[in-house]
Amino acid sequence: MGPHGIVNSMHHQAVKDLAPSLRAVAWAPDGIVEAVEVEKHPFALGIQWHPEELARAMTRA
């Protein structure tokens, strides 16, 4: 995605405190964590946005 990406933020819940093994890697303009990675793992990613909704919107465009 590079340093910037497009996501659709629809927050009614948000991460307050990360577990010690998690690292925040993406934030919304309001500071809410949008994505985390698991440290010391070859590939583990958690996201807070809704890629399925973004994909639907892009196919309708």
The set of residues, in sequence order, having a beta carbon less than 8 Å from that of 24 and lying 6+ positions away, is: 15, 18, 33, 35, 36
The verdict on residue 48 lying in a domain is: yes
The verdict on residue 30 lying in a domain is: yes
The verdict on residue 14 lying in a domain is: no
Q: What is the pLDDT of residue 60?
A: 65
**How many domains does the structure of the chain reveal?**
1
Domain extent, residue 55, equals 22-60
The verdict on residue 3 lying in a domain is: no
pLDDT at 8 over 60: yes
> For the residues 14-19, what does the mean pLDDT come to?
88
Alpha-carbon distance of 58 to 56, in angstroms, equals 5
The verdict on residue 32 lying in a domain is: yes
> For the residues 23-42, what does the mean pLDDT come to?
88
> For the residues 28-46, what does the mean pLDDT come to?
87
The verdict on residue 40 lying in a domain is: yes
Q: What percent of the chain clears pLDDT 90, i.e. is strictly above it?
A: 18
* pTM exceeds 0.75, yes or no: no
